């Protein structure tokens, strides 16, 4: 793993010195954190009398009792607890958009950009293994994207504290579901995007093409948010683990595939 | 050492390298000369185990490039056509990274080596500057330092001095010479710079369309091409040219001015006295006869011009 660590550290060092990469890494999570916070502020900020609370209560009132019995994640007696569960189910997957949105630029720059700048050949002419190289580059894409997600959640947490809403835990990051999302799911989502970028890099020649193609990944992942939210709200608090397992499985498969294609001959020839 | 035997690399319909055979001994500087697309860069990539040969074999520093590529890469330093730096790093960070990737684990030894290399290429004072601000020549100097940082047994240089000013180019040439002569390093030099090739290389090959069209020492290669001679007379005349055309062993007689006639000969010692006699017999006042310097360029151009160059040849 030494080679992978060296590559990752070197790439991260370059990333933090590139304003074109750093600005989106900071601005985009802050924007999502603020927007999520503002909407929550507006809808639920005033507690039980807020618009969001009123609408949710009305929806829950119309829920057939027979259906409610089968929805295991709904607290049966405490309506505020139900709304808290709903807010969490909506908020947590929202932040998975951040790694999906941030990783394409980082990964395209790392994989295809390096080849375009002709800096890949000297590196490939060293004894470093291509698996190490791949892992290092994946780490260099995943780490900033995961850090961006954490930043976004921190901003969101700040907004919830500012709103003084009783519907959010005071220590958002002490909540188990938020922690699983931040420490497990978000990096796995970032790894998914980065490994797809690694796969694409063996097929495309230019940074712009790679970036555009990577961007297409955003859509299916965003579509995943809807079932994930419903699952988390209605059925089980273990939904996050299912999502994590899904991404972990897909990640392993794609990384293995990318690794099989990631050989020197291929990288030198695919132009 | 480097030993290539019938090395072939095919990309689709293109035979980028087509039967390259040569050996470079430790302490020797060997040149690969050829026009753009001749296959020099592909040959370098084969020898640095970046590409696998389609057929043939190559052994570098005692290891076969196809069977033990990792061992080969651990023992070579390659300078690619383009510096290919990580320009947001400083040269010290950059060289330290490559030294680590090449296996230099001891931090203090690495720091000393990085300092030595940066002093060699004259960039020690800029060691903390981000390389984005460097000129092309400075970037090339960093790339040269990268090639040398792990003190490799075999050095593969692709146009090492192309972007350097004359002073820096000379210091690099001197260092390359020193590496080969005093430290026994094996050096393969790909270049268009014939003067540099002649100065540095003990032997060289000329490649064209992936094929080796000539090999030998610079002196032997030069000797195989006709010498250009210049005859100066007070005034030339059609009669004089006609007489000279009758002289054995000379070709390509041209009138280059009112009193300047040039011709080529493989045997100047025999042909030149005959030329003077013929000129005098034609009534010309002979002012002088000189042999033009017979450079490697003459040989190179004659060989390359006479070799086929199919479209789509590799670099």
The per-residue pLDDT for range A171-184, each reduced to its tens digit, is 777 788 888 889 99
As beta bridge partners, residue B215 has B205
Q: Does B93 touch chain A (CB under 8 A)?
A: yes
Contacts of A124 in chain B (CB under 8 A): 50
CB pair distance less than 8 Å for B89 and A125: no
Is B211 an interface residue toward A (CB < 8 Å)?
Answer: no
Distance from CA of A111 to the nearest CA of B (A): 13
Compute the nearest-CA separation of A91 from chain B (Å).
37
CA A49 to chain centre: 32
Strands B55-60 and B63-64: antiparallel
B78 interaction partners in chain A (CB closer than 8 Å): 121-122, 125
The domain spans of chain A are 2-269
Selecting from A118, A127, A265 the residue whose C-beta is nearest the C-beta of B80 gives A118
Q: So what's the ipTM on this one?
A: 0.82
For residue A88, the distance in angstroms to the closest alpha carbon of chain B comes to 41
Q: Check A126 against B50: CB less than 8 A apart.
A: no
At residue B313, the pLDDT reads: 47
Kindly determine whether residue B73 and residue A117, on different chains, have CB atoms separated by under 8 Å: no
Residues of B whose CB is below 8 A from A118: 80-84
Share of chain A above pLDDT 70, in %: 86
Q: Do B11 and A269 touch (CB under 8 A)?
A: yes
pLDDT per residue rounded down to tens, chain B (315 residues):
999 999 999 988 889 999 999 999 999 999 999 888 888 999 999 999 999 999 999 999 999 999 999 999 999 999 987 888 999 999 999 999 999 999 888 999 999 999 999 998 889 999 999 999 998 888 888 998 999 998 899 999 998 887 778 887 887 888 889 889 888 899 999 988 888 888 899 999 999 888 998 899 988 887 777 788 899 998 878 788 888 888 988 888 888 888 899 888 888 888 999 999 999 988 889 999 988 766 777 788 877 777 665 544 445
Question: How far is residue A200's CA from residue A113's CA, in Å, rounded to a whole number?
Answer: 12
CB spacing of B101 vs A126 below 8 angstroms: yes
Sorted by sequence, the CB contacts under 8 Å of residue B78 that are 6+ apart come out as: A121, A122, A125, B44, B48, B147, B155, B156, B157, B158
Residue A91 confidence (pLDDT): 83
Residue A263 DSSP code: -
Please check whether residue B52 touches A, CB under 8 A: yes
Residue of A1, A110, A114, A125 to mutate for B, most B C-beta atoms under 10 A: A125
CA distances from B99 to A210, B47, B50, B82 (A): 31, 21, 19, 20
Instruction: Answer for the pair B77, B147: CB distance below 8 angstroms, yes or no.
Output: yes
Inter-chain CB pairs, A–B, below 8 Å: 73
Residues 6+ apart with CB under 8 A from B135: none
pLDDT at res. A220 = 77
Burial class (CB in 10 A: 0-12, 13-18, 19+), B124: middle
- For chain A, give the mean pLDDT: 82
Cβ within 8 Å of residue B103, ≥6 positions away: A127, B74, B150
To the nearest whole Å, the CA of B68 is away from the closest chain A CA by 11
Does residue A66 surpass a pLDDT of 60? Answer: yes
Measured between alpha carbons, how far is B117 from B179 in angstroms, rounded to an integer? 13
Q: Which range is most confident: A71-80, A222-231, A236-245?
A: A236-245
Better-predicted residue by pLDDT, B177 or A162: B177
Q: How close, in Å, is residue B171 to chain A by CA atoms?
A: 23
What separation in angstroms does the CA of A11 have from each of A113, A187, B77, B153, B276?
12, 17, 22, 29, 72
Domains observed in chain B:
2-222 (3.40.50.300), 226-293 (3.30.70.100)
Q: Which of A97, A112, A115 is nearest to A218 (CA)?
A: A97
Strands B286-291, B227-233: pairing kind: antiparallel
Its sign, for the CA torsion B234, B236, B240, B245, is positive
Contact check, Cβ <8 Å, A118/B82: yes
d(CA A233, CA A170): 20
Cα dihedral value A110, A114, A117, A118, nearest 10: 170
Integer CA distances (angstroms), B112 to A60, B136, B144, B185, in order:
71, 25, 17, 21
Quote the minimal CA–CA distance from A190 to chain B in Å: 24
Q: Where are the alpha helices (DSSP H) in chain A?
A: 2-16, 19-44, 51-61, 65-70, 79-94, 97-108, 114-116, 120-124, 130-163, 176-180, 186-201, 207-215, 218-230, 239-261, 264-269
Partner residue opposite B84 with nearest CB, options A6, A122, A126: A122
Is the CB of A6 less than 8 angstroms away from the CB of B100? yes
Whether the CB of B89 is below 8 Å from some CB of chain A: the reply is: yes
User: Three-state SS string across chain B, please?
Assistant: CEEEEEEEEEECCEEEEEEEEEEECCCCEEEEECCCCCCHHHHHHHHCCCCCCCEEEEEECCEECCCCHHHHHCCEEEECCCCCCCCCCCHHHHHHHHHHHCCCCCHHHHHHHHHHHHHHCCCHHHCCCCHHHCCHHHHHHHHHHHHHCCCCCEEEEECCCCCCCHHHHHHHHHHHHHHHHHHCCEEEEEECCHHHHHHHCCEEEEEECCEEEEEECHHHHHHCCCEEEEEEECCCCHHHHHHHHCCCCEEEEEEEECCEEEEEECCHHHHHHHHHHHHHHCCCCEEEEEECCCCHHHHHHHHHHCCCCCCCCCC
Cβ–Cβ below 8 Å for A268 and B50: yes
**Percent of chain A residues past pLDDT 90, beyond the cut:** 29
Q: Test A10 with B89 for CB contact under 8 angstroms.
A: yes
Band of pLDDT at residue A201, cut at 50, 70 and 90: confident
Cα separation, B92 vs B103, whole angstroms: 17
């Amino acid at each position: 793993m030494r080679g992978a660590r060296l590559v990752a550290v070197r790439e991260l060092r370059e990333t933090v010195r590139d304003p074109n990469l750093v600005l989106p890494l900071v601005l985009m999570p802050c924007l999502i954190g603020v927007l999520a916070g503002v909407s929550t502020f507006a809808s639920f900020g005033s507690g039980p009398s807020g618009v969001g609370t009123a609408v949710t209560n009305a929806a829950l009132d119309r829920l057939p009792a027979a259906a409610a019995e089968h929805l295991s994640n709904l607290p049966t007696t405490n309506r505020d607890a139900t709304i808290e569960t709903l807010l969490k189910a909506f908020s947590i997957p929202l932040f998975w958009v951040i790694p999906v949105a941030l990783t394409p630029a980082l990964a395209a720059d790392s994989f295809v950009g390096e080849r375009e700048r002709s800096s890949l050949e000297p590196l490939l002419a060293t004894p470093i293994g291509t698996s190490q190289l791949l892992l290092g580059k994946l780490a260099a894409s995943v780490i900033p994207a995961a850090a961006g997600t954490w930043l976004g959640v921190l901003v969101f947490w700040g907004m919830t504290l500012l709103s003084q809403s009783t519907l959010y835990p005071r220590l958002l990051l002490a909540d188990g579901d938020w922690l699983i999302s931040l420490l497990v799911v978000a990096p796995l989502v970032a790894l998914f995007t980065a490994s797809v970028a690694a796969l694409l890099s063996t097929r495309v020649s230019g940074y712009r093409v790679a970036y555009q193609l990577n961007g297409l990944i955003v859509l299916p992942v965003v579509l995943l948010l809807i079932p994930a939210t419903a699952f988390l709200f209605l059925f089980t608090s273990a939904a996050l683990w299912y999502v994590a397992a899904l991404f972990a499985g897909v990640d392993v498969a794609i990384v293995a595939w990318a690794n099989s294609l990631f050989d020197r001959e291929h990288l030198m020839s695919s132009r | 050492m480097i030993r290539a035997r019938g090395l072939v690399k095919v990309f689709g319909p293109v035979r980028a390298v087509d039967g390259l055979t040569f050996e470079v001994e430790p302490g020797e500087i060997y040149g690969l000369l050829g026009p753009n697309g001749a296959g020099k860069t592909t040959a370098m990539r084969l020898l640095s185990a970046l590409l696998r040969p389609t057929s043939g074999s190559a052994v570098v520093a005692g290891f076969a490039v196809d069977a033990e590529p990792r061992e080969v890469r651990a023992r070579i330093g390659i300078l690619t056509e383009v510096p290919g730096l990580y320009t947001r790093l400083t040269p010290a960070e950059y060289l330290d990274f490559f030294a680590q990737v090449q296996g230099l684990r001891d931090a203090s030894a690495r720091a000393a080596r990085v300092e030595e290399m940066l002093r060699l290429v004259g960039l020690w004072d800029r060691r903390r500057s981000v390389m984005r601000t460097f000129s092309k020549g400075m970037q090339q100097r960093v790339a040269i330092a990268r090639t040398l940082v792990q003190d490799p047994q075999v050095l593969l240089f692709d146009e090492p001095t192309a972007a350097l000013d004359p002073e820096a180019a000379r210091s690099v040439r001197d260092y390359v010479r020193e590496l080969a002569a005093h430290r026994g390093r094996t050096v393969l030099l790909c270049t268009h710079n014939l003067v540099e090739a002649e100065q540095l290389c003990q032997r060289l090959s000329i490649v064209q369309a992936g094929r080796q069209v000539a090999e030998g020492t610079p002196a032997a290669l030069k000797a195989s091409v006709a010498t250009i001679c210049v005859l100066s007379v007070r005034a030339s005349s059609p009669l004089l040219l006609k007489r000279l055309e009758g002289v054995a062993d000379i070709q390509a007689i041209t009138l280059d001015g009112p009193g300047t006639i040039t011709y080529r000969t493989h045997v100047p010692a025999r042909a030149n006295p005959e030329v003077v006699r013929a000129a005098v017999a034609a009534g010309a006042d002979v002012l002088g006869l000189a042999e033009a310097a017979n450079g490697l360029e003459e040989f190179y151009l004659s060989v390359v011009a006479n070799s086929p160059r199919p479209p789509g040849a590799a670099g």
